[in-house]
Chains A and B, each alone.
Chain A
């Protein structure tokens, strides 16, 4: 075996493309209509959030009654105001579009917080086992047993000025437990698989085994859980805003708009509350479809 022949071979070698598991998952995802619908819906929300400034016909906090007079007050949906206006003459459509920014921000950052706490703790509990597992599982159960909304309210009300940062940190501090549980159970089942044992036999260090061998195989259920969690987090934020914690007026938050508009529902001015409500529903559905689709696409067991 000389080096020359080896390099010659190398030059002539046509490496065949492998079907990576990610590629295969995408092919399965594409075939799933509901999943694709979820993806498209999610993309529209993201686009709405990014281009809210360009798409919105009006300034979301501008009170048009000062310029257009009383006809702009609680105007019903029309060509001029597609979703009508509220009591102060603010354009509902513009507020709903900007509301997507708030909801997505909360959804993304709160999910990041849950992942940052949940994945490492779940990985340690599952991989190390023993005392680590006992302690972390105990912590998970304690957080789980605590009334959820009370905890978030407690955290938020500690701060006099409830900014969005506090809201998503508070949500993340509670919501990490589900991610932690999923990660832990994945690590427990993968820890004893032969390919992990093989990695030990090859003398690879623990961090490498965790990050290169176990985590890539555990990531699918974590992604699914996080995606589903996004929808839940967005409803939580809306709920908090509705209760007066979280986003403060005049921020165009969907939950806040529902709470502001509810008094007028009975009087027939339904548009103030209903459109932000539909927006919440649309967003939660989008993430549910997406999460379901990801679960079906990433689930190795269902394959063939």
Chain B
């Protein structure tokens, strides 16, 4: 790689915003916005796996889609290897698509039911000229073996596979593009628990073999703990904490992160249970609270939190938190 970009900023997300307008009435006037992603910035280092956690509706999936420009962001920019993805998308779609890929959550909805597995895996590489027609089936067989599928099954259709196998097909389709960066959008949450770890281990193995960089989106903290190097916590479209995995799980700083970690089930009936139970519901992303986004539910809320918005600041060792308790 001759490009001179900062390896710390392999993927750089800057002030990303994704607002969805709400239209009402006959004239379809815009009466408000759903602030799905509200001013989020973070970097992903080359070769690392960043786990993105948060509850449903907090904007995790939207961030994943927006990084790939499957959805055009309202504001903000995404740089990949130092190049603006939004600009690349217009100029050189193929370059962008080859280097950034996405694994979807639903292994049933993400495969075209009318295409057999070979075509699902091989269509795009052939189209982009990554492989020649003569190598087509060899290439597909090779990829299928790598993800733990039998190449003999390449003429079969998605509905003939189980959920776990389908997810492997989805992974194979991504792998066939030889990407460097992959957004894994809850890749195991639709699978049986027994299958989850297999697919998770497969993703980890492939990361090591092909030196991939992952953005791993999940709502399951134990899954994130298993696969990530760093963890980022999203709440109501805002980043509240980013930290290396060990620091995060041992000493979470943000009250929301504390509550999340205290909620992880511990397989020990003797273990002391001091769970932090949060009061109330997540506020509507249409009217997020002023000041700190978490102030309405925070057990340690202060007067300042309701008026001022905390910035994400480094507390040492790359442990960043957006909370007034620490600055």
**Which residues from chain A sit less than 8 Å from chain B, CB to CB?**
1, 3, 6-7, 9-10, 13-21, 193-195, 197-204, 208, 212-213, 216-217, 300
Contact = CB atoms under 8 A, between A and B. Distances in A.
Contact of A6 (B94, B112, B142): B142
A17 B153 CA distance: 8
Contacts of B160: 18-19
Interface in B120-154: 123-124, 127-128, 137-138, 141-142, 151-154
B155 A18 contact: yes
Chain A contact residues: helix, strand, loop or mixed:
helix
A16 B104 CA distance: 27
Interface stretch (B5-13, B95-103, B264-272, B289-297): B95-103
A201 B160 CA distance: 24
A57 B57 CA distance: 75
Contact of A193 (B105, B109, B157): B109
B70 interface: yes
Nearest to B170: A198
A194 B109 contact: yes
A6 B127 contact: no
B116 A195 contact: no
Contacts of B106: 194
Given A202-B124, A204-B123, A1 B142 contact: yes
Contact of B154 (A15, A19, A20): A15
Contact of B155 (A15, A199, A201): A15
Contacts of B157: 18-21
A19 B113 contact: no
Given A19-B157, A203-B94, 14 more contacts: A3-B138, A10-B137, A14-B152, A15-B154, A16-B153, A18-B160, A19-B156, A19-B160, A194-B109, A195-B112, A198-B102, A198-B173, A201-B68, A204-B124
B321 interface: no
Contacts of A203: 93-94, 96-98, 124, 127-128
A14 B155 CA distance: 11
Contact of A16 (B70, B124, B155): B155
A21 B114 contact: yes
B20 to A, nearest CB: 14
Given A195-B110, A195-B112, A204-B123, A6 B141 contact: yes
A18 B137 CA distance: 16
Contacts of A195: 109-113
Nearest to A6: B138
15 contacts: A10-B138, A14-B152, A16-B156, A17-B155, A18-B155, A20-B157, A21-B114, A200-B70, A202-B124, A202-B173, A203-B96, A213-B112, A213-B115, A216-B112, A217-B113
A167 B123 CA distance: 43
B236 interface: no
B177 interface: yes
A15 to B, nearest CB: 5
A201 B176 CA distance: 13
B193 to A, nearest CB: 22
B110 A208 contact: no
A208 B65 CA distance: 21
A25 B109 CA distance: 20
Given A18-B116, A203-B98, A203-B124, A197 B156 contact: no
A217 B114 CA distance: 7
A300 B151 contact: no
A256 B156 CA distance: 52
A2 to B, nearest CB: 11
Contacts of A200: 70
A19 B114 CA distance: 11
Nearest to A216: B114
A203 B111 CA distance: 16
B33 to A, nearest CB: 19
Nearest to B108: A194
Nearest to A213: B112
Looking at A19, A194, A195, A201, which has the most chain B CB atoms within 10 Å of its CB? A201
Nearest to B119: A212
Contacts of B110: 194-195, 197-198
